[in-house]
Chain A
Amino acid sequence: MRTTSEPIALARMSRAKVGMASLIFMESAFFAAFLVTYLYYIGKSTSGPQPIECLDRGPVLFNSACLIASSFTVVLAVRALARGAIGLFRVWLLVTVLLGFEFLAGTAIEWSGLVTAKGLTIQSNAFGTTYYSLVGFHAFHVIVGLLMLVGILVLSMFGCIDPRRDHARVDVATWYWHFVDVVWIFVFLLVYVVGRVPQGGGL
């Protein structure tokens, strides 16, 4: 029992951080639904192009490496901003954005190959349906993340990013980019490792 009734000042958490963490939590639930659905349909396609015929790991590994590397470069960018090195910040952010575009371009090339050479579309079979929707929704989130990063880059080009004032905000925005990366690791493992099964092959 306390005898004084002095109120205790609360250590305030950052609204932006809590908000972004909640958003990421919510997006995780969204992706969980698509991942579980993908898992459910692995090996259920009785006709049409099969995962093992369609999915070529080589280019995807390179794309994945680019996306994961971009998580590190964005950390370097945020660190540069924290030190006030705005020039270095722009460079690392530009590298991050380019790596992100590489990933998208890689996905585009892969998809066009799948559609034209393998004849796999979203209508082909359960594999096509779940593959394009899962990978597609991830790519959509990459685009959203890129829009955020490009927006920050453009703002900093116009001198609108003040390291001291905006460091925390930029940091929170990059959380989303890390989230997009982490989701890709799950997608990659599920689609290109676990789910690369022949016709009739289950788990």
Chain B
Amino acid sequence: MTSITGHKQGSPVQPGGFWEAVARWTLSVDHKKLGMMYIGAGLVFFLIGGLEAAFMRLQLARAENTIIDPETFNQLFTMHGTTMVFLVGMPVLLGFGNFLIPLMIGARDMAFPRLNAFGFWLFIFGGALLYFSYIGSEGLYGAPGAPDVGWFAYAPLTSRTFSRGNSTDYWILGIMVSGFGSMTTAINFIATIFCMRCPGMKFMRMPMIAWMMLVVAGLVLVAVPVLTAAQTMLLLDRSLGAHFFDPETEGSAILWQHLFWFFGHPEVYILILPAFGFVSEILPVFSRKVIFGYALMVAATVGIGFIALGVWAHHMFVVGMGPELDAFFGASTFLISVPTGIKIFNWLGTMWGGRLRFATPMLFVTGFVAMFVIGGLTGIMLATVPMDWQLSDSYFVVGHFHYVLFGGTVFGIFAAIFYWFPKATGRMLDERLGKWCFWLLFIGFTLTFMPMHISGVLGMPRRIYTYEADRGFEIWNLISSIGVPVQMAGVLIFLWNVVRSLRKGEVAGDDPWDAWTLEWSTTSPPPEWNFDRIPTCTSARPLWDRKHPEDPDAHYE
């Protein structure tokens, strides 16, 4: 086993055989190892989900294509959406929370380390269960194949009548199991942030990521159990013949939509708030300025957390809820753009007049802000009810949420990986390859998703496996598909960068970015106990105070 006496500084490769390494990782309850395993597993699922998307774009590249049959196409978009939301977004972001929160608040581990490991393995088994459906869903019914009901699994498509075999059951159980993992992690985040802060780390001195993760954990605790409840009802419908969602027998298909989106919309903020946190940490360091409006930023985050619970039915404008509900949910959706706008302007205020260093993390962060604004603006368009009636379930919506979730969350994740990779491994990622990665991803992303707005306005519905020629869709779909290999090249360069930098990347040292939060005050990679002595905190930038005793932030609080 690993030696307890010390760690080899600057080298992620530790001594011992292969099986010892496997045991060291799988038996670990260390928040850093678990966090890295979350991120690593999430990236594997990211490649799988990306390949599924690539196959869809291949099929849609030209009109009346026949590379992929309709049934497979349904499975592809279902698995792509489910994978990206539940097996990429959640685990990678929660993984960063795991890795960063104790380091940033000056703690030696999470509040419940074993619960933490339990949550991670639930996520892995949930993901495995979902993908096992490709092999195991045939069951006794002779209807093989992966889930094909779409990632929000609308009733009554999911009833026994329309979804034979066990594929939908695998969808339910896989997500439920990984959802239990997310909930235990959320409990852990809250207990850690409340109880484990180092001396002096008052709430209003916490790094923005800790705030974001606290709000995310709260949203997980409210939203995910509702999904679990809805999925339980669906399971009862399918297995015991209950009548929750079957409209033929007193059930209500709309109820599923309400319950699902009561989870589904907070989920969107669960996926974006941690990325906001990354931006709020990285942007000041590469602008060499304190974050603009810390208190307002905190207030906006908490505000988003609350309003996020009251906007869910804007996914259901075309259901026909009536003018009152349409007006309410349209208005609440406009309202949530206020705290979000505050954040954007605070980031711009942070950059304004700063000494900007465009290293790779900063490139991704800047890309994030720009792309997220575009996604936010199309979001405001979609919150306008009559506009939504026109555009709902079209490629415009697909373009919108990919701008938010890819241009937003994924760019944020890449920024975070480039920024904290030196801390986690002790080695820098290569800058030149990093810039290639950014520009290829950025250009490929724009090529793929910008034209979707146009094909959507032209009337192309989402989730169709092909389309007729002469509808005007061809050129936009072709451009979208051309973007895919560009993105793939970016991802491959990223993977090569990781592999290469792990072996012979530049040794990072404790604090390669000259940053201000506590994780940079310990070694890279940090020892298992994080800090030899528990640090103390005198302001929101404890490491600045330590570096600049002549002008500490504490004087301005």
Contact = CB atoms under 8 A, between A and B. Distances in A.
State yes or no: do A and B come from one complex: yes
Interface of A: 1-3, 5-10, 12-15, 18-19, 22-23, 25-27, 29-30, 32-34, 37, 40-41, 44-46, 122-123, 125-126, 129-130, 132-133, 137
A22 B190 contact: yes
Contacts of B187: 19, 22-23, 26
A129 B243 contact: yes
B225 A126 contact: no
Interface residues of B, number: 51
DSSP majority for the A interface? helix
A10 B250 contact: no
> Of residues A2, A30, A33, A137, which shows the largest number of chain B Cβ atoms within 10 Å of its Cβ?
A33
B291 to A, nearest CB: 20
Given A22-B190, A33-B230, A37-B233, A15 B242 contact: no
B225 A37 contact: no
B23 interface: no
A23 B220 CA distance: 11
Contacts of B202: 8, 10
Nearest to B226: A33
A139 B217 CA distance: 27
Given A7-B199, A18-B190, A29-B221, A129 B244 contact: yes
B536 interface: yes
A23 B196 CA distance: 18
A40 B255 contact: yes
A162 B319 CA distance: 59
B228 A123 contact: no
Contacts of A8: 199-200, 202
Interface in B236-278: 236, 240-244, 249-252, 255, 259, 262
B177 to A, nearest CB: 15
Nearest to B537: A7
Contacts of A27: 225
B225 A13 contact: no
Contacts, number: 122
A133 B242 contact: yes
Nearest to A27: B225
Contacts of B252: 40-41
Interface of B: 111-112, 183, 186-188, 190-191, 194-197, 199-202, 217, 221-226, 228-230, 232-233, 236, 240-244, 249-252, 255, 259, 262, 536-539, 545, 552, 554-557
A60 to B, nearest CB: 22
> Of residues B250, B262, B536, B539, which shows the largest number of chain A Cβ atoms within 10 Å of its Cβ?
B250
Given A22-B187, A26-B221, A37 B255 contact: yes
A18 B556 contact: no
Given A26-B222, A123-B243, 11 more contacts: A2-B557, A5-B554, A12-B195, A26-B186, A29-B225, A32-B226, A37-B244, A45-B250, A125-B243, A129-B244, A133-B233
A30 B250 contact: no
A152 B382 CA distance: 54
Contact of B545 (A5, A19, A25, A122): A5
Contacts of B232: 133, 137
Contact of A126 (B251, B538, B552): B251
Contacts of B199: 7-10
Contacts of A2: 554-555, 557
A143 to B, nearest CB: 16
B418 to A, nearest CB: 32
Contacts of B196: 15
A1 B556 contact: yes
B221 A15 contact: no
A40 B244 CA distance: 11
5 contacts: A14-B195, A29-B225, A30-B226, A122-B242, A129-B242
B225 A46 contact: no
A40 B259 CA distance: 12
A132 B242 CA distance: 10
A82 to B, nearest CB: 22
> Of residues A29, A41, A44, which shows the largest number of chain B Cβ atoms within 10 Å of its Cβ?
A29
